[in-house]
Structure 1
Amino acid sequence: MRIHHLPYQDPGVPDVRSGTRFLVWLGRNQLGGQLRSLGWGLLHFAALAALPLAVGRAVQAVVDRSGSALGWSAALIAALGGAIALGDTMLHRTAVTNWITAAARVQQLLARRTAALGSVLTQRVAAGEVVAVSTGDVEKIGWFVEALSRFLAAALSLVLVCVGLVVYAPALGWVVAAGMPVLALAALPLLPRATRRADAQREKAGYATELASDTVAGLRVLRGIGGEELFLGRYRAASQEVRTAAVRSARMWALIAAIQVVLPGLMLIAVVVYGAGLAADGRISVGELVTVYSAVALTAYPLRHFEEIAMAFSFSRPSARRAARVLALSRTDPAEAGQQLPKGELYDPVTGLRAPEGLLTAVVCGDPDAAGRLAERLGGHPAGPDQESGGADEKATTARPAAEEHASVRLGGVPLDGLPLDLARTAVLVQDKDPVLLSGTLRELLDVPSSGSVPVDEALAAARCGDVLDALAQASPDGGGDPMATRITERGRSLSGGQRQRLALARSLVTDPQVLVLDEPTSAVDSHTEARVAESVRRLRAGRTTVVLASSPLLLDVADRVVLVHEGRVAAVGTHRALLRDEPRYRAVVTRETEDEKDDRESASGRGRVEMEEPA
C-alpha cells in the first residue's frame, strides 16, 4: 500500500480480542510494506556492519605498504558508503510509509465505527478517551508499526556481526558474541516497571483531556454560576499529576537509555584491552584489532533500536487496547439485524413527553438549551455522562435514577438507540435551530435520501422559499435563471438567516421521515411568513408524526396538541388557546409576561370587575 492509494477502499475487519492481537493484525496487513522496509534496513545495517572490515583491510594495507590493497579497500569503503546512504534513505521512506498507512487504516476503522455507533459511542466511552484514541493513540500505534521493521533489520545485522567476527577473528569474536545478548536484553527486567509508569501517565493524561473537554463544553454554564476557578483548579491539579507521572516515566526510560550507552561502552573497553594484549602477543594483526574495535563501536547504533522497539511496544500496546475496545463496540446485537422500522407513538421517558402518531405536537420549554437537548434526545441521542451538568431542567432531574436519566427515546415501544443507525435515521430526523447547508448547488442540497413522497417543488413551496428561489435565479451563473443550478456557499453564508432556515426546512420535508423533529424552525422568519409556513407544514405532514419545539404563538396555534415541559418534566398538555387561558407557566413562556406585568393585568382585571358590579 502506497500513500497515494489512501484512503483504503476496505480497511478490513480488525482482530479486537486484545491490544496485542490488534497490533499483530495490523502488522499482518502491512506485510508488504514491512518486507520492503526490512530489505532496505538489511542493506543499510549490513553495509554498516561491513564497513569495519573495509577499514581494517585499509589499515592493514598501510601497515603492509600495499598500494593495490589500499586502493581496493578505498573502493570498498566508497561502495559501502553509498549502500549505507541508499539503505538509510529508503529505510526511512518505507518506514514512514508504514507509519502513515497504518495510522490511516486505524483512523478509517475508528471513523467507520464512530459513524456506525452514533450517540452510543459517547454513552459507553468518555469523550476524552475518544479524543485520545483518535489522536495520540493512533500515532503511537503507527510508531510501533514503523519501528518494527527497523528493529528486525538491526537484530539480524547484530547476528551477522557476531557470526562474522567469530569467523574473522575467533579470539575476539567469541567475546563479542557472548556479550551481545547481554547488551541486547539488559533493559528487559526494567520494561515492566517502565510500562506501568507509562500506563499511569497515559491514564492521568486521558483524565486531564476529558476534564478539559467537559470544562470547555460547560464553559457558558460555569461562567453563569461563577465556577470557572473551581474547574480550572481541578484541571490544574490534574495537569500537575500528569507532569509528575511523566517525570517518573521519563526517569525510567532515561535509565534504560543509560544502560544502552554504558554497557556497550564497557564492552568496547573490554575488547580494546583484551585485543591489545592479543595484538602485543602477535595472536592477531593490527588490522584485525581495528576491525573488531570498529564493529563493536558500531553495534551501539543498532542496539538503540532495541530500546526504541521496547518503548514503541510499551506505549502502543495500551493504545491498541483502547482502540480495540472502541472498535469492538456494537450498536445492536446480531439478532437485531433485519429489524423492521417501528411505528407508533414517540415517547421520551426522561421528560414524559408523548407525541402521538400522525399528529403535529408542539413542545414549549422555558429554557432554550433544554429544548435543544430534548431535540437531540428525540433523535436517539440520550444524554451521556459528560452532559449531566447544565441548565435548570437537568438539575431538576437529578433525583431520578441514573438508568432513567439516560434512557433512550422509544418509537412504538422500541428504543431508538437499539436500532441500527440507518434504520434510526430513517425513522426520526432532527433539524436543529442552526441547520448546516453544505456548499454546492441547490439541486445538490436537496438531493437527499427520501421516501419519494414529497417532490422538491412542493417542499420548497411549503417552506415558502419563493423569494429565495428568485434571489438564486438572479445569481444564476449561466444567466439562464435556474435557481437549482446556483451554488450555495459554505454553510449558506450567502443567504440570510431566514433563507437558510427555510431551505433547511425544505430539505427536511423532502426527506419525509416517519417522525420529523423541528427545533425553532422559523425563529429567523418574519411573522407573516411564519404563519404561512406553519399552515403549509401542517398540511404537507398530515398523517405523519411531527414535533416542533417552539414558543411562537403562530406555530403553537396550528398544532394538534401542545406540551409544556417545565423543569425537565411534562407539566401540562392541551391546545394552545386552552393552555394560554388556564396555565400561568405556559402563558409566561409564550407571551414573555413578567411578574410585574402579571400583577398589573390581574389588578386591572379586578378593577374592571368591580366597576361592572357597581350600579350605574
Structure 2
Amino acid sequence: MKAALWGLLHMAALVCFPVAIGFGVQAVVDRSGARLALAGGLMAVLTALTALGDTMLHRAAVTNWITAAARVQQLLARKAVELGSALTRRVAAGEVVAVSTGDVEKIGWFVESLSRFTAAAITTVGVCVALVVYQPALGLVVALGVPALALAVFPLLPRATRRADEQREKAGRATELASDTVAGLRVLRGIGGEELFLSRYRQASQDVRAAAVRSARMWALIAAVQVALPGLLLIGVVWYGATLAREGRIAVGELVTVYSAVTFLLFPLRNFEEIAMAYSFSRPSARRAARVLALRRSSSGVEDPGADAAAGGPDGEGLGGDLYDPASGVLAPAGRLTAVVCGDPDLAGRLADRLGGHAPDDGGAVEAEPGRAPSALLGGVPLDEVPLEAARRAVLVQDKDPVLLSGTLAELLDVPRSGAVTVAEALEAAQCGDVLDALARASADGSGAADPLDARITERGRSLSGGQRQRLALARSLVTDPEVLVLDEPTSAVDSHTEARIAQGLRRLRAGRTTVVFTSSPLLLDRADRVVFLADGKAAAAGGHRDLLAIEPGYRAVVTREPDMDADTDAGPDTDAGPDTDANTDTDPHRAPGAGTGRGAGGPVATGPGTGAGAGTAAGTGTVGRIDTIEESA
C-alpha cells in the first residue's frame, strides 16, 4: 500500500507535466510573461515531487521485494525444520534449493512490480478520463487506443508463459543435477565419474540456455509490440490533432497538452509489460513454493486439538512410554534397547521417519484411513498429532546419512540437551577418540592442539571419513539424551572392533532410555534387549538375537548375508510382535540358545578391509553359541 501511494504521487506529478507544458506554450503564443513564469514555477514543483515520489517508490518497492522473498524463505526454513529428513524423501533436494534461491527472487519481483503496476493503472485511467473531459475529440481517440495497446500483448502471453515455464523447469533440473553431483563428488572421484557427470551437466546447461533464448525472443517481440503500437497511436493523435488545430477547433496549447499526455502514457504502459513478465516468471515459482509449503508433518494434514491433553499438557510434557508403529507392528518397549532388522534400506528409512513423528503416504503401510498412513504411537499418543516441539523433545531420529554443519566441534555438539549426558561421555561412547586426534592434527591454525573441541569441521564434514562422520553424529545424538532415540544404521561405515565398543557404549549410556537401532550387524543385535525382524514391511518375529538366528531362516539370511536355503522364508506377521505381547523379550542376549547350527555371525574374521566379526564376508560355520567368545574378544 505504501509503495502504491508513493507510485501515485510519482506518476501524478508526471501526468501534470503535460498541463504545465501546454500552459507554457499557450503563454508564449499569447505573449504572457506572467503565465510563462507561473508555468516554469509549476514545472519546478512537479520536478521536485517527481523526484521525491520516484525515490520513495523505489525504496518501498524494493523493501516489498526483499520482505516477500525473506518471508517465503522463512516459511521454507520452518517447513524444513518441521519435516526434517522426510522433506527430501518427498521433494528432491535440488528442487528445495531452487525454490529457496531463484524462486523466492521471482516471487519478490512480482510483489515489487505489483505496486508499480497499481499506480500505473490508476494513473492511466485518470489521464484518459481527464483527456476526454479536457478535449473530447482527441481524448476519445486516446481513451479507446490506450486499452487496445494494453490488451494487444495478451495473445502473446500464453506462449511466452509456456516458454518461461519450460526454461524454469530445465533450470530446476540443472540445479538438481548440480546439487546431486556436488553431494556425491567424493564418490564420483573414487569411481572416475567426474567427466560423465560433467558432460551431463554441460548438456543440461545448454538446454537451459536454449530455452532461455527462446523465451527471450518472445519477450523481445512483446517489447517491440509495446513500442510500435504506442508509436502508431502517437502518430495518429498528432495527425488528427494537427487537422483540428488547422481547422481552428482546438488551440495550439491544447494540442501540445494532448500530445504530451499521450507521450506520458508510454511510461505506464511499460509497467503493463513488466507485470506481465513478472507474473509469467513468478507463477511457476509460486507453484513450486506452494507445493513444498503444502507438505504436512501430519499425514492427515490436520492437527488434533485434543492431542495436547493426550500428550500430557499444552507443550507435550510427560510424553513417553512404549513406541509402537501400527503400520509395521514394530514395538519398542520403554527403557529398552530394541534393534530392528529389515532387508530393505528404503523401507527402514520410511519406518524411522514414522517412528520420529512423520507419516509419509508412501510406505505400503496399513492405512487407518484412505490415503493416510497411521502415525507411530508413543505411550498411545499419535506422534504426528502432538505439538512439533514436544515430538522433537521426545523422539530424535538420526538418519543413515547425517549432516555435519561447518564450524567447530564444540559448536557441533552445542545442541539442546537434558544435561544427563556430558560431551565427554557422548564422545567416549561413540568411540571418537581417534577422530579428536585427527581433527587436532589437521587444524590449520593450531587451534585444535590445546582443545580438540576447538578444531574446525568443514562443510558437511567432507574432510572426514564416513566412519568419522557417523561417530561424531552419534555423539551429537547421544549428548542430546532424548526420551526416545532412533538410529538408522549408525555404524555402517565403522570397522568391527570399533563397532563392538560402540555397541557396549550405546547400551551403557542409554540404560533406562528407549533406543531403537535399525541394523543388521550381529555386534549390535547381540547387545539389544529385543530384536524385531521385518519381512515385507511387517514384524515377522521378535525376540533375542540368538534365538532368532536359530529359529527364523529369513532373519538368519539377512544377518549372515547368505541366501535363505530353508524351506519357507516368507514368514507372516508373528503374534509375538504385536503391542501386547513380547516373545522372548527377557532372553539373556549373552545366552546361547543351544539349538540350531548354521553359518555363525561371529565366525572367524576374514582378512581385508571392512571385514571382521559379524561381517557378511566372514567365513566359518561355527554354531551360534560361539558368538559370545568371538565378540567378547573383539
SS where residue 448 of structure 1 aligns? coil
| CA–CA separation in structure 2 for the residues paired with 1:121 and 1:201 | 29
| CA–CA separation in structure 1 for the residues paired with 2:89 and 2:405 | 28
SS where residue 299 of structure 1 aligns? helix
| CA–CA separation in structure 1 for the residues paired with 2:368 and 2:112 | 48
**Residues 361 and 213 (structure 1 numbering): CA distance in 2 closer, same or farther, change over 3 Å?**
farther
- Contact 1:58-1:69 within 8 A present in 2 as well: no
Cα deviations by residue, 1:353-400 (Å, 9 ceiling, x for unpaired) = 111111111111223333333322322222335xx6xxxxxxxx4897
2:396 match: 429
SS where residue 427 of structure 2 aligns? helix
- Note the C-alpha offset of 1:208: 10
2:556 match: 587
SS where residue 430 of structure 1 aligns? strand
- Contact 1:437-1:492 within 8 A present in 2 as well: yes
Cα deviations by residue, 1:472-531 (Å, 9 ceiling, x for unpaired) = 455663476222222222223333333322222222111111111112222222222221
From 504, 515, 530, the equivalent of 1:561 is: 530
From 438, 462, 466, the equivalent of 2:433 is: 466
Further displaced range: 124-133 or 509-518: 124-133
1:481 match: 450
Instruction: Verify: 1:535 aligned to 2:504, yes or no.
Output: yes
SS where residue 340 of structure 2 aligns? strand
> Looking at both structures, which has the greater relative contact order when contacts are Cα pairs under 8 Å and sequence separation is at least 6?
1
| CA–CA separation in structure 1 for the residues paired with 2:563 and 2:425 | 41
Specify the code of the residue in structure 2 equivalent to 1:449. Answer: P
Specify the code of the residue in structure 1 equivalent to 2:477. Answer: S
Cα deviations by residue, 1:234-258 (Å, 9 ceiling, x for unpaired) = xxxxx9xxx9xx99xx89x999996
- Note the C-alpha offset of 1:594: 4.1
- Note the C-alpha offset of 1:344: 1.8
- Contact 1:362-1:556 within 8 A present in 2 as well: yes
1:24 match: none
- Contact 1:128-1:207 within 8 A present in 2 as well: no
- Contact 1:347-1:355 within 8 A present in 2 as well: yes
- Note the C-alpha offset of 1:566: 2.0
**Residues 56 and 32 (structure 1 numbering): CA distance in 2 closer, same or farther, change over 3 Å?**
closer
2:197 match: none
From 134, 141, 150, the equivalent of 2:116 is: 150
- Contact 2:436-2:452 within 8 A present in 1 as well: yes
**Residues 214 and 373 (structure 1 numbering): CA distance in 2 closer, same or farther, change over 3 Å?**
farther
**Residues 462 and 53 (structure 1 numbering): CA distance in 2 closer, same or farther, change over 3 Å?**
same
Cα deviations by residue, 1:559-585 (Å, 9 ceiling, x for unpaired) = 112121122222222211112222222
| CA–CA separation in structure 1 for the residues paired with 2:305 and 2:116 | 42
Specify the code of the residue in structure 2 equivalent to 1:175. Answer: A
From 279, 294, 305, the equivalent of 2:271 is: 305
Instruction: Verify: 1:174 aligned to 2:158, yes or no.
Output: no
1:289 match: 255
2:77 match: 111
Instruction: Verify: 1:98 aligned to 2:69, yes or no.
Output: no
From 540, 546, 566, the equivalent of 1:571 is: 540
- The correspondence of residues 364-379 of structure 1 with structure 2, limited to 5 A, is 364-379=341-356
- Contact 1:119-1:382 within 8 A present in 2 as well: no
- Contact 2:18-2:256 within 8 A present in 1 as well: no
TM-score between the two structures when normalised by the length of structure 1: 0.67
TM-score between the two structures when normalised by the length of structure 2: 0.66
From 244, 257, 273, the equivalent of 1:278 is: 244
- Note the C-alpha offset of 1:546: 1.0
2:339 match: 362
Identity %: 58
| CA–CA separation in structure 1 for the residues paired with 2:127 and 2:564 | 90
- The correspondence of residues 201-220 of structure 1 with structure 2, limited to 5 A, is none
- Contact 1:57-1:73 within 8 A present in 2 as well: yes
1:224 match: none
SS where residue 573 of structure 1 aligns? strand
| CA–CA separation in structure 2 for the residues paired with 1:60 and 1:313 | 45
SS where residue 450 of structure 2 aligns? coil
SS where residue 527 of structure 2 aligns? coil
- Contact 1:191-1:310 within 8 A present in 2 as well: no
From 394, 408, 422, the equivalent of 1:441 is: 408
- The correspondence of residues 234-245 of structure 1 with structure 2, limited to 5 A, is none
Cα deviations by residue, 1:113-169 (Å, 9 ceiling, x for unpaired) = 5534658989999999988976777456434432233234334544664577578xx
- Contact 2:4-2:119 within 8 A present in 1 as well: no
Further displaced range: 143-152 or 119-128: 119-128
Specify the code of the residue in structure 2 equivalent to 1:374. Answer: L
- Note the C-alpha offset of 1:89: 6.9
**Residues 507 and 317 (structure 1 numbering): CA distance in 2 closer, same or farther, change over 3 Å?**
closer
Select the structure that is richer in helix.
1
Further displaced range: 362-371 or 139-148: 139-148
- Contact 2:361-2:372 within 8 A present in 1 as well: no
| CA–CA separation in structure 2 for the residues paired with 1:401 and 1:479 | 53
- Contact 2:485-2:514 within 8 A present in 1 as well: yes
Instruction: Verify: 1:456 aligned to 2:423, yes or no.
Output: yes
- Note the C-alpha offset of 1:587: 1.7
**Residues 111 and 567 (structure 1 numbering): CA distance in 2 closer, same or farther, change over 3 Å?**
same
1:550 match: 519
Specify the code of the residue in structure 1 equivalent to 2:137. Answer: V
- Note the C-alpha offset of 1:91: 4.6
1:12 match: none
| CA–CA separation in structure 1 for the residues paired with 2:376 and 2:540 | 18
| CA–CA separation in structure 2 for the residues paired with 1:377 and 1:489 | 31
- Contact 1:518-1:549 within 8 A present in 2 as well: yes
- Contact 2:530-2:544 within 8 A present in 1 as well: yes
Cα deviations by residue, 1:175-231 (Å, 9 ceiling, x for unpaired) = 3444555445558999999999999999999999999999999999xxxxxxxxxxx
| CA–CA separation in structure 2 for the residues paired with 1:318 and 1:497 | 38
- The correspondence of residues 58-73 of structure 1 with structure 2, limited to 5 A, is none
| CA–CA separation in structure 2 for the residues paired with 1:584 and 1:216 | 44
**Residues 357 and 489 (structure 1 numbering): CA distance in 2 closer, same or farther, change over 3 Å?**
same
Cα deviations by residue, 1:437-474 (Å, 9 ceiling, x for unpaired) = 22222222222111111122222222222333344455
Q: Work out the number of aligned pairs and report it.
A: 530
- Contact 2:304-2:386 within 8 A present in 1 as well: no
- Contact 1:144-1:313 within 8 A present in 2 as well: yes
| CA–CA separation in structure 1 for the residues paired with 2:240 and 2:497 | 100
Further displaced range: 349-358 or 405-414: 405-414
| CA–CA separation in structure 1 for the residues paired with 2:176 and 2:352 | 21
- Contact 1:183-1:260 within 8 A present in 2 as well: no
Instruction: Verify: 1:406 aligned to 2:373, yes or no.
Output: yes
| CA–CA separation in structure 2 for the residues paired with 1:216 and 1:568 | 34
- Note the C-alpha offset of 1:305: 3.4
2:330 match: 353
Q: Which runs of 5+ in 2 are unaligned?
A: 185-206, 309-313, 568-596, 600-619, 622-634
**Residues 260 and 369 (structure 1 numbering): CA distance in 2 closer, same or farther, change over 3 Å?**
same
| CA–CA separation in structure 2 for the residues paired with 1:127 and 1:462 | 32
SS where residue 101 of structure 1 aligns? helix
- Contact 2:99-2:289 within 8 A present in 1 as well: yes
- Contact 2:484-2:513 within 8 A present in 1 as well: yes
SS where residue 380 of structure 1 aligns? coil
| CA–CA separation in structure 2 for the residues paired with 1:56 and 1:474 | 82
SS where residue 500 of structure 1 aligns? helix
- Note the C-alpha offset of 1:70: 10
